[in-house]
Amino acid sequence: MIPILGLAVGVVLGLLLDPSVPLWLQPYLPIAVVAALDAVFGGVRARFDRIFDAKVFVVSFVSNVVVAALIVFLGDQLGVGAQLSTAVVVVLGIRIFGNAAAIRRHLFRA
């Protein structure tokens, strides 16, 4: 119940305050969101597998976001930021869909 309440409060605050993202951070935000979603789906899957550990989830969440942002930053410095951004999204997307399939199998026993 607490996570749902926190999500609702966050959505309402986001709509009311209308936060803006600095220009220098905008290329990294979508990658960070996808990396965070990968960690969340991995955490949900671990919960269904009964192997969830909060410490592992937090470390996974933070490290996914930091590593993905560093890869994109390195790509920007090398002049291949768009290609590395695409690569990060593809890799994390594959992981997200794999976790979503495992969650679906748990939920629907299929």
Query: What are the b/e assignments for 62-97, b being 16+ CB within 10 Å?
Result: eebbeebbebbeebeeeeebeebbeebbeebeebbe
Mean pLDDT in residue range 55-84: 92
pLDDT in tens, 6-47: 889 999 999 999 889 899 988 888 999 999 999 999 999 999
Tell me the whole-structure pTM to 2 decimals: 0.83
**Has residue 96 got a pLDDT over 90?**
yes
pLDDT for the residue 7: 85
Share of the chain above pLDDT 70, in %: 100
Domain boundaries, the chain: 1-108
